[in-house]
Amino acid sequence: MRTTCPASSGLLFCLGDFFPTLRRVHPDHGLALLFSTIQPPVIKFRPQTSGGITFSLIGRIIMSLIEGNNKNNTNNKTKETEVAQMQINVDAHMKIKLSSTTVRPKITLDKISLKTLTPGILAQEELDRSVLLSKEVLQRMVNDILRGGIPIPVHPLLRLHRPKVKIQDRALLLLTNVEFNEPLIRQIVGASLDIKKGV
Q: What's the CATH code of the domain at 38? A: 3.15.20.10
145 plus 162 within the same structural domain: no
Q: Is residue 49 part of a domain?
A: yes
**Residue predicted with more confidence, 62 or 181:** 62
84 plus 120 within the same structural domain: yes
pLDDT tops 60 at residue 152: yes
Q: What pLDDT, on the 0 to 100 scale, is given for residue 163?
A: 84
63 plus 101 within the same structural domain: yes
137 plus 177 within the same structural domain: no
- Per-residue pLDDT tens over the stretch 50-76: 778 898 999 999 999 888 755 555 556
Domain tally, the chain: 2
88 plus 171 within the same structural domain: no
Mean pLDDT of all residues belonging to the chain: 83
Q: What is the DSSP string of 130-170?
A: HHHHHHHHHHHHHHHHHTT-EE----TTEEEEEEEEEEETT
Amino acid, res. 11: L
The pTM for the full model equals 0.69
189 plus 105 within the same structural domain: no
Q: Which of 22, 173, 21, 163 is nearest to 99 (CA)?
A: 163
Q: What pLDDT, on the 0 to 100 scale, is given for residue 156?
A: 81
- Per-residue pLDDT tens over the stretch 15-42: 778 888 888 888 888 888 899 999 998 9
**Residue predicted with more confidence, 83 or 155:** 83
Q: What pLDDT, on the 0 to 100 scale, is given for residue 112?
A: 92
- Identify the band that residue 8 occupies on the pLDDT scale cut at 50, 70 and 90: low
Q: Structural domain of residue 170, as residue ranges?
A: 158-197
3 state SS of 30: strand
- Identify the band that residue 198 occupies on the pLDDT scale cut at 50, 70 and 90: low
Taking the C-alpha atoms of residue 125 and residue 143, their distance in angstroms, rounded to an integer, is 28
